[in-house]
Structure 1
């Protein structure tokens, strides 16, 4: 027993001394069709894939925030539990519901996207807000449905379309606005 304790202490100190010497790690997988590189340091990760001819995708994240970028430089998915910054990323006919927290934003070539928000007001208030904004911008209502309190609204105008889904959840209302334009 007397020899066991010093040996275990020496082994433990040697193992602890080796910790944190390399703060990040990279893994790269290559084959004739392309490559994938994953980098991580315990606080942040990034993954980049490239097929050599069809483009690339970069994914990065830390904590509650994940971002994915397509190789075209314009298609983006942004998910952030703390709220997503949408400044300059929405078309003029789409806006964030006043006071809502943006949970995720997906955009594609500035022609289409999906905005997901969390807010306290009831689904009817949220759907009504978007209905009123769309009508005042010249949009024509195509659908207004209520399925057990889950509201769906869609409208079009001059090659642009928007759809709003608002439903009750444990934190208030989960709202999703999807848009496209030609």
Structure 2
């Protein structure tokens, strides 16, 4: 009986430590950087990461306060210093800076099986897609379309393929852009009528 009570107390304490946020955000941010080996290239990128971290930390606090006394909790993950809207704009993928956990086992499992760093994945930046398209055309010897409409349609298909490729790479698949990246998969895919 005593062993059961001690085990339960340890599990509860562990869960509280996993989901409780520090009072001092700077201390918590430094712990986050150490735990996830985050390195920033300059003071501006670190300030931006800290601002995103604070915003996401406050969101997690709010979500946890909305569910008082329940085992369901939210905890920050390695994307806590990123802005999901920026990532969507740059790569066309959806990330969440926090995880929703049901119990202490799930909280521990999520901490042990971490999300990959975006830097570790081969993602194409949508802000650089025009240059990527030009390189791709040269690499695969694609015909230079003479009609502006054909060129636009194939370019849009290429952009859509880049987003699909990013989503697959984010999901853990190792996908690269192939020679068919601009091939329309449906007739009149980009026409409205």
TM-score, length basis structure 1: 0.26
| Greater Rg by CA | 1
Bigger relative contact order (CA 8 A; separation at least 6): 2
TM-score, length basis structure 2: 0.25
Higher helix share: 2
